[in-house]
Each structure stands twice: as C-alpha cells, then as structure tokens.
C-alpha cells in the first residue's frame, strides 16, 4: 500500500511516531494509502528546517525565486494528468473537474506569484519638517521568516498552492499541514519542488491530524504567521492559540452564500450557472451558492427548470470521464450532510433528491462509496437552521422574494459573508445590490470567476485577512518604515 510520508528539508521521511493513519478513497470507501501520523516532534523538525533555509532564501534575488516558481508551474502542467487522477481518487471529485479546474489553477497560482514578485513596489512619502528640512519615508517589505500554512480537503492542492506561492515568492520559508483527509496531491508536490530547484527546507509538508500536527504548528513560537483555510470553528480555535503569541493571521473560513435571481434574467442562461454554483464538487466549495433567492414572478418556472437540470446531472464514479457529480469526501462528512437533510425535513422543508435511481446504478467498485445525490429544499424560512448553518454539501435551498429589500435582507441574514452572486440585466440594480451585500466577493451575472490580482476573503464569520495578488504579498511580508531626514 502506498505510504504518504512527510516532506522535510527536501526529503521524504516517516513521522517520529512511526504510526500511520488510513487514507480512504471516498468513491469506494476503501483504504488506499497510509499517512504519516505526525505530531509536535515532526513539526519541530520541519520548523527547524524552514528556519535554517530562511536566511538564504530570503536573500535569494526575486528574479531567481521567480524562475524557480515558473519551473514548478511547468512541472505541474507536465504532470497534470497524474495529479488530476490523484486528486480525484483522494477527494471523490470528478476527474474532469480536477483536470480542468483544480490542477490548472495550481500551476496558475505559482506562475502568477512568480510574476507578482517581479512587479512588487513599495511606497515612499515625503514629510515636510521645520526650518525647511524634510524627511523621506520609504517602506521596506521584508519576508516574515517561517510561516505556517494550513489547508482543507475540498480543493486540497489548489488552496495550498495559493498559500505556498505568495509565501515563498515573497522570500519566506514554510511548513504546510494539508488536510489529513486528502493528503495525496501535497505529497506529490514534494518531488516537483525538488525537481524545480526549490532549495531544501523552503517548503516542508507535515502530514497528519489537525488536532496534533496542525495545533503544534500554530503553537510553535518560531512560526510568525499562520495562513489558514478551513471551518469557522477551527479558525476561531486556532486564533485563540495564535493571538496571545501576536502571530499574523489570515483566516479563510466557512460560507453560506446567497444566489439572488431577479425577474429580468434569461433563465436559459441562469439555470445552468445556478446548478454549477450549487453543486460543483458536490457542493463542497466554500463559495458555492447554497441559498438561492428568486423573484416570486419567475420562482415556479425557475424551480421547474432548475430541478430538471439537477436531475440530469451525471452522478457516477469520479474516475469516469463522463461523471459530473462524484462522491462526498468522507464517511463522516456524508453523515453530517445527511443529518442536515433530515433536519430540513424536520423543519418542514420539501426535500427533492435528484438522480436517486442513477445513484443506485453506480459501478460495483463504488458500491460502498460516500455518495449523496443533489438535494433541493423548498418551503423553508430563511431563518431556519438549514438556511443558516454551513452544510458544505449538495444541499441547496430555493426561496422566493417579493422585493429587492427583502432579497438583500435574506441574503445578508446569516453569520457568514464569504461570497454572493446576483443575476439581473438592470445595471443600476446590479451596482446597488452589490454594494448592499455583506460579502467579501460579489459576482454579478457569473460565479467563480477568478482574477488572481483581486483581494479574496470573507467578512463576518467567514474570516479575516485577504488573499489574492497584492494582499497576499503584503500578508507574507513585514513592512518596515525607513525615515531619512535631510536638511534643505
């Protein structure tokens, strides 16, 4: 059976405990690999490796760092097929999605920050002083040193690379803790880092449980900043450790994103996008539009077409090229999602489960996989738990609205504020509503359009800090002001 070890100082090494955790293929429910069960000892070794690589990497010319990142991007593209297959096996997502979205975006992340580091500029301010003297203040942005990067299971390498790329482009070294549920693609990255010429110790990957390896990383005094993507409860727990140590923190957390559909839209265009927003990666994307609010005048027609389109999704073996909808990521997550489907019924919702028959017709190898067909829930008030709590699975609620004010109030009426979508042909309404929505990203007439230069992150319980271009480069640097006085 394949062993997934740690990657420290450029070498693959077993955990100090010599213990292993089972890694399951979610589409089959079978163990397919063993994972290093790391703890504080492994974190200590990895941080030491990162610390010793830090001075040289921090002084390596930006152009050199950039070249290495470009090489890495090329190697990821070279290995796209193998990485997409590994990602699909690890997560249960359709291989087509891994091939066209996750892995290409990993390469783009490295290539983007390879360019960004060459374009980085800093500020200069001239200050008037008495007697005609003056001072020039300029800002130096220097690497922080060793940073900790913790990522979730839904887009494992994509989200991890979005942290590694700006961190090392800016001259930091890092210790990464991927999700224990989906460790394979980060493991495969290790060899590519070596092949690209990333010096040993610049990127270290410690596998294992969040409660052991993850918490030890957050608590390590030499780790000066933590960039975390995951659930809100984990993020707040982690902040309790990091805040008293005055660590820099970026928290990308949960979402319960609204999707507002006004009555002037072309349903032929909107329905497929609402399906995509609701059910991409089986609804396990933090940005999924899981709460649809639709103008009452078109509500029934929308629901009819939406239901038909969801019903037509091809549920199947994630490794099958024609599959559009795979399995959930783990048995525990399947149980959580199913408990919310029960809750929706208890709360009085009308629950429609799509493709039930076809789910039963899965190939034999998937008989024990963690499959949950898409679910549409109607008839629930926006304040009920089903519409308030993050399910992070293929469960979408559809609710009618009577006015723009009501739509905005319902959209904003949760503790989360990660993203929102709105669909309208009225440009004034688009701007007005976009301004009123409490969310870090508002998509108008689109969903999941990504420009790596823009700030990304959530408001309210969806997090603090911003990732994306300039914001990420700033997060991974310390700003120092140099003030030079000169007489006139």
Cite the active site residues: 252, 286
The verdict on 66 binding ligand NDP (CB under 6 A) reads no
Task: Return the range that interacts with ligand NDP (CB under 6 A); candidates 105-113, 205-213, 291-299, 444-452.
Answer: 205-213
The verdict on 179 binding ligand NDP (CB under 6 A) reads yes
Q: Which helix (H) or strand (E) holds 387?
A: helix 385-388
Residues in contact with ligand NDP, counted by CB under 6 A, come to a total of 32
The verdict on 331 binding ligand NDP (CB under 6 A) reads no
Of residues 39 and 79, the one with the C-beta less far from ligand NDP:
39
Q: CA 193 from chain center: how many Å?
A: 21
Strands (E), 314-473: 350-353, 375-378, 395-401, 416-417, 419-423, 441-444, 459-460, 463-464
Beta carbon of residue 195, minimum distance to ligand NDP (angstroms, whole number) = 25
Of residues 68 and 288, the one with the C-beta less far from ligand NDP:
288
CA-based nearest residue to 69, from 101, 107, 98: 107
Return the residue nearest ligand NDP (CB atom): 210
The tokens for 239 are 């902040």
The verdict on 236 binding ligand NDP (CB under 6 A) reads no
The verdict on 104 binding ligand NDP (CB under 6 A) reads no
Of residues 155 and 354, the one with the C-beta less far from ligand NDP:
155
CA–CA dist 53, 153 (Å, integer): 28
CA–CA dist 306, 300 (Å, integer): 10
Beta carbon of residue 279, minimum distance to ligand NDP (angstroms, whole number) = 15
DSSP symbol at 199: P
Buried b (16+ CB within 10 A) or exposed e, 231-267: bbebbebbbeebeeeebbbbbbbbbbbbbbbbeebeb
Q: CA 167 from chain center: how many Å?
A: 16
The verdict on 238 binding ligand NDP (CB under 6 A) reads yes
What is the torsion angle, in degrees rounded to the nearest 10, for the CA atoms of residue 394, residue 441, residue 90 and residue 81?
Answer: 120
Of residues 171 and 210, the one with the C-beta less far from ligand NDP:
210
Per the rule left: phi > 0, alpha: psi between -120 and 50, beta: everything else, 251 is beta
List phi, psi (to 5°) of 266: -95, 110
Of residues 88 and 179, the one with the C-beta less far from ligand NDP:
179
Site for ligand NDP in 119-178 (CB under 6 A): 150-154, 159, 177
Beta carbon of residue 322, minimum distance to ligand NDP (angstroms, whole number) = 26
Site for ligand NDP in 216-235 (CB under 6 A): 218, 229-231, 234
| Of the candidate residues 37, 39, 320, 390, the single one contacting ligand NDP (CB under 6 A) | 390
Query: Is residue 354 within 8 Å of 345, Cβ to Cβ?
Result: no
The tokens for 419 are 């993203």
The verdict on 448 binding ligand NDP (CB under 6 A) reads no
The verdict on 215 binding ligand NDP (CB under 6 A) reads yes
Site for ligand NDP in 360-389 (CB under 6 A): none
- Contact positions toward ligand NDP, by CB under 6 A? 150-154, 159, 177, 179-181, 209-211, 214-215, 218, 229-231, 234, 237-238, 252-255, 286, 390, 392, 418, 458, 463
């Amino acid at each position: 059976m394949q062993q997934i070890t740690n990657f420290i100082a450029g070498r693959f090494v077993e955990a100090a405990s010599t213990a292993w955790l089972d890694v399951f293929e979610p589409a089959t429910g079978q163990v397919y690999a063993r994972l290093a069960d790391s703890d504080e000892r492994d974190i200590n070794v990895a941080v030491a490796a990162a610390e010793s690589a830090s001075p040289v990497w921090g002084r390596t010319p930006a152009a050199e760092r950039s070249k290495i990142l470009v090489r890495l991007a090329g190697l990821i593209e070279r290995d796209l097929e193998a990485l997409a297959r590994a990602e699909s096996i690890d997560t249960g997502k359709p291989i087509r999605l891994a091939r066209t979205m996750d892995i290409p975006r990993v390469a783009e992340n490295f290539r983007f920050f390879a360019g960004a580091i060459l374009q980085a500029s800093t500020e200069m301010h001239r200050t008037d002083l008495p007697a005609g003297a003056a001072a020039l203040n300029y800002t130096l942005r220097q690497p922080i040193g060793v940073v900790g990067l913790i990522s979730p299971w839904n887009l494992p390498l994509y989200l991890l690379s979005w942290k590694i790329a700006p961190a090392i482009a800016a001259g930091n070294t890092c210790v990464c803790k991927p999700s224990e549920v989906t460790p394979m693609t980060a493991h495969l990255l290790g060899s590519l880092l070596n092949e690209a010429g990333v010096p040993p110790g610049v990127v270290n990957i410690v596998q294992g449980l969040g409660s052991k390896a993850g918490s030890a990383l957050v608590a390590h005094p030499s780790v000066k900043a933590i960039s975390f993507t995951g659930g809100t409860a984990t993020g707040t727990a982690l902040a309790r450790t990091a805040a008293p140590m005055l660590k820099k923190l970026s928290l990308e957390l949960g979402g319960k994103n609204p999707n507002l559909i006004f009555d002037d839209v072309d349903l032929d265009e909107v329905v497929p996008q609402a399906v995509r927003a609701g059910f991409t990666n089986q609804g396990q994307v933090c940005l999924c539009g899981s709460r649809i609010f639709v103008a009452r005048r078109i509500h029934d027609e929308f629901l009819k077409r939406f239901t038909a389109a969801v019903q037509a999704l091809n549920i199947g073996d994630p490794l099958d090229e024609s599959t559009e909808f795979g399995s959930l990521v783990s048995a525990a997550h399947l149980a959580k999602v199913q408990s919310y489907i029960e809750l929706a019924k208890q709360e009085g919702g009308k629950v429609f489960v799509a493709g039930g028959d076809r789910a039963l017709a899965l190939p034999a190898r998937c008989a024990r996989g963690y499959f949950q067909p898409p679910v549409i829930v109607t008839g629930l008030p926006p304040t009920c738990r089903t519409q308030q709590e993050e399910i992070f699975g293929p469960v979408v609620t559809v609710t009618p609205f009577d006015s723009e004010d009501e739509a905005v109030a319902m959209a904003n009426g949760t503790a989360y504020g990660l993203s929102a979508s709105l669909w309208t042909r009225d440009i004034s309404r688009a701007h007005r509503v976009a301004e009123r929505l409490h969310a870090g990203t508002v998509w108008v007439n689109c969903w999941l359009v990504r420009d790596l230069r823009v700030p990304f992150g959530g408001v309210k319980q969806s997090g603090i800090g911003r990732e994306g271009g300039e914001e990420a480069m700033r997060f991974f640097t310390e700003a120092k002001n140099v003030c030079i006085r000169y007489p006139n």
